Amino acid sequence: MKGAAQDAPNRAGSLADLVRPYPEPPAGHVSDSRLEAVLRSGRFAVTAELNPPDSADPADVFEAARPLAEVADAINATDASGANCHMSSIGICALLTRAGHGTVYQISCRDRNRIAIQGDVLGAAAMGVRNVLCLTGDGVGAGDQPGARPVFDFDSVSLVRAIRTMRDDGVFLSGRRITRPPRLFIGAAENPCAEPRDWRPERLAKKVEAGADFIQTNYIFDLPVFEAFMARVRDLGLDRRVFILAGVGPLASARAARWMRSNVPGVHIPDAVIDRLERAANPAEEGKRLCIELIGRMREIHGVAGVHVMAYRREHLVSEIVHASGALDGRRPWLRHPDA
Amino acid sequence: MYRVRLFAVRHARRFEWLYGRFEAFMAACDPLFSRLGYARVERPVAFVERLTKGFLFDCRMCGQCALSSTGMSCPMNCPKQLRNGPCGGVRAGGYCEVIPEMRCVWTLAWEGAARMRNGGGIHEVAPPVDRSLEGTSSWLRASREKAAARREAREAGRTALARAYPGARASEPATAPLADEPAR
Ligand code: SF4
């Protein structure tokens, strides 16, 4: 019992360490997110998607984050993407924020209702999450447990508005007051290459209207389609109201590309790209080169504020790709939080 | 029926006109409904509503009808029940990610809205569906709402939701109601 008494002051000390004051955003910002700071300063931002482990070991999360951290302003933790079960986005974010990484907490509307999601948003913010990405989510049939009940209580657009209401009005959707509102940089996705293409910019406008601060797009392999999309986005003046990060990633081979095209919802890869991989002596190398080229082209498109690199199972290439593309312009993303 | 539903979207402009007339008529009936008691007319009206809208639009009686803002394509037929679609998974040719042989409900919605005279409601951010209203009459709700819009309603919970989605409330009153619900 003597030992326990001696422990007490120690424990109190470590608790005080954990309870840092909840930060207020700098003037003109909605959060103290580093991603927001990079984007608002007009620099080209880089985010990267983490492959979530099928494991309860925190070491696996840090291992997965390692190849991304040195080139990414924020790391996206997917929320059972493709309706496949992995470690939760909120768990991964909680670990990574402890280590000083910027994170994007992805919320899919497929698995949780409005009560769970609003609670998780507060929990995530309390654990140091500063960016959220609101997604509709793929249908449960696409995943490893097609018998699951799909929830879809919110959709991505109404979710964006709900989080904005929590942040800016300081209330839940029930009207109950939130004593300390979450300071979050709110994101949404868009898929410029999916049908109905004519209406994609209009729907983006809806997301901006709902309160999106940034957009991360799905994979873009069809540059002419994306350029047409961006032209319309500029006509609507959306590039001045929201930061758009274009989705890119390295393809491993023509076969992998074909598989993705027919099995992953919302992926559009033109035949020309697949032909190019097929003809290459070293398809993996060619896929990497293609990705570097695409990033270069993205930097030239007016209204594109950064890239979002999704290198599923090829995360080890991310750093090389980003460096080779010059996307960071010699800039080094913070590895640790300035005040950590 | 799928065929009829596609027909309704193709003729969204005509249905919009019809629907507008009907809504005005229902709103005008508010004093009558109030006198009879909304609770009393609820069941017969909901019955008729289910039959007509079920036939025309494959209506699911969500109780928060938004057809005039969705090109007369009922969003509850979307397997993800999106109220602000389409999702990012729409297949080539505008077919649904989840049910590949069905046209995407939301691709149809945007097409239908473009045909309508006042299809602009599709640009408004729609709130999540209030599941507790499932099975109830949207017609009566809209008529109450239209009548109540002039009155000052003050109820904390719903005013927050209605305030969070003002555009939707203005264009589709049943989706973010402010007026009191009658006892059921
Ligand atoms: S493709 Fe269209 S109908 Fe199918 S789930 Fe997505 S939005 Fe709904």
Q: Walk along chain A (340 residues) and give the pLDDT tens digit of each residue.
A: 444 444 444 555 567 666 777 888 999 999 999 999 999 999 999 999 999 999 999 999 999 999 999 999 999 999 999 999 999 999 999 999 999 999 999 999 999 999 999 999 999 999 999 999 999 999 999 899 999 999 999 999 999 999 999 999 999 999 999 999 999 999 999 999 999 999 999 999 999 999 999 999 999 999 999 999 999 999 999 999 999 999 999 999 999 999 999 989 899 999 999 999 999 999 999 999 999 999 999 999 999 999 999 999 899 999 999 999 999 998 988 655 444 3
Assigned domain for B179 exists: no
Closest CA to A79 of A88, A70, A71, A92: A88
| Residues A106 and A133 sit within 8 Å (Cβ to Cβ) | yes
- Of B11, B94, B169, which Cα lies nearest the Cα of A200? B94
CB contact under 8 A, A173 and B159: no
Residue B134 lies in a domain: yes
Residues of chain B with pLDDT under 70: 150-158, 180, 183-184
Site of tokens 């904390």: B156
Task: State whether the beta carbon of B97 lies less than 6 angstroms from ligand 1.
Answer: yes
> Any residues with CB less than 8 A from the CB of A119 and at least 6 apart, and which?
none
Contact A295, A323 (CB under 8 A): no
**Which residue, chain included where needed, has tokens 């193709």?**
B10
H helix runs in B61-155, sequence order? 105-115, 138-148
Q: Is the distance from the beta carbon of residue B82 to the nearest atom of ligand 1 less than 6 Å?
A: yes
Q: Are A205 and A234 in contact (CB under 8 A)?
A: no
pLDDT at residue A9, rounded to an integer: 47
In a domain, B84, yes or no: yes
Nearest CA to ligand 1 atom 2: B104
User: Strand, coil or helix: what is A97?
Assistant: helix
Chain B nearest C-alpha distance from A180 (Å): 17
Rounded Cα distance, A83 and B14, in Å: 40
Q: Sign of torsion, CA A257 A261 A264 A267?
A: positive
Could you tell me the pTM of the whole model?
0.90
Angle between helices B38-57 and B138-148 (to 10 degrees): 120
B98–A contact, CB cutoff 8 A: yes
Read off the DSSP letter of residue B67: G
Chain A closest CA to B167's CA: distance in Å?
10
Integer Rg of chain B from CA: 16
Complex-level ipTM beyond the 0.90 threshold: no
Distance CA B21, CA B15 (A): 10
Cβ-in-10-Å burial (0-12, 13-18, 19+) of A291 comes to buried
| Separation of alpha carbons A204 and A233, rounded Å | 8
* Number of neighbouring beta carbons within 10 Å of residue A62: 15
| B85/A155 Cβ within 8 A | yes
Domain assignment present for residue B174? The answer is: no
Between the CA of A296 and the centroid of ligand 1 the distance, in Å, is 33
Interatomic CA distance for residues B68 and B122, integer angstroms:
8
Total number of domains constituting chain B = 1
Task: Record the tokens describing residue A276, joined without a space.
Answer: 């190019």
Q: How far apart are CA A165 and CA B115, in angstroms?
A: 33
Measured CA distances, B157 to A34, A167, B163 (Å): 35, 17, 10
Give the pair of three-digit tokens for residue B67.
């057809």
Taking CA–CA distances from B128, the nearest residue in chain A reads A154
Q: How far is A196 from A266, CA to CA, in rounded Å?
A: 12
Residue A103, classed as helix, strand or coil, is strand
Task: Give dist(CA B135, CA A265) in Å, integer.
Answer: 32
- Degrees, nearest 5: CA angle B142-B148-B151: 165
How far apart CA B135 and CA A281 sit, in angstroms, is: 61
Beta pairing, strands A185-190 & A214-219: parallel
Q: CB–CB of B81 and A158 under 8 A?
A: no
Q: Of all helices (H) and strands (E), which one includes residue A208? A: helix A200-210
Question: From the CB of B87, is ligand 1 less than 6 Å away?
Answer: yes
Distance A123 CA to ligand 1 centre (A): 30
Residue ranges of E strands in A80-200: 103-108, 131-135, 185-190
CA–CA gap between residue A106 and residue A133 (Å, rounded): 5
C-alpha to C-alpha distance for A80 and A69, rounded to whole angstroms? 21
pLDDT of residue A110: 97
Assign domain A27-325 to a CATH class: alpha beta
Residue B171 lies in a domain: no
Q: Is the CB of B45 inside a 6 Å radius of any atom of ligand 1?
A: no
Which of B95, B125, B132 best probes binding to A when mutated, by most A CB atoms within 10 angstroms?
B125
Q: Tokens representing A192? A: 């410029």
DSSP H or E run through A241: none
Q: Which chain B residue's Cα is nearest to A201? A: B123
Instruction: Flag whether B178 is in a domain.
Output: no
C-alpha B89 – ligand 1 centre gap (Å): 7
Q: Bridge-partner residues for A243, per DSSP?
A: A214
Tokens of B110: 């945007």
- The pLDDT score that the predictor gives to residue B1 is 85
Region label for A315, one of left (φ > 0), alpha (ψ between -120 and 50) or beta (otherwise): alpha
Q: Which tokens hold the place of A161?
A: 């508005």
Query: If we measure between CA atoms, which residue out of A181, A187, A218, A183 comes closest to residue A32?
Result: A183
* Strand A103-108 relative to strand A74-77, pairing: parallel
Closest CA in chain A for residue B81 = A152
Q: How far apart are CA B62 and CA B60, in angstroms?
A: 6
Using left for φ > 0, alpha for ψ between -120 and 50, and beta otherwise, residue A28 falls in left
**What is the Rg, in whole angstroms, of the alpha carbon atoms belonging to chain A?**
20
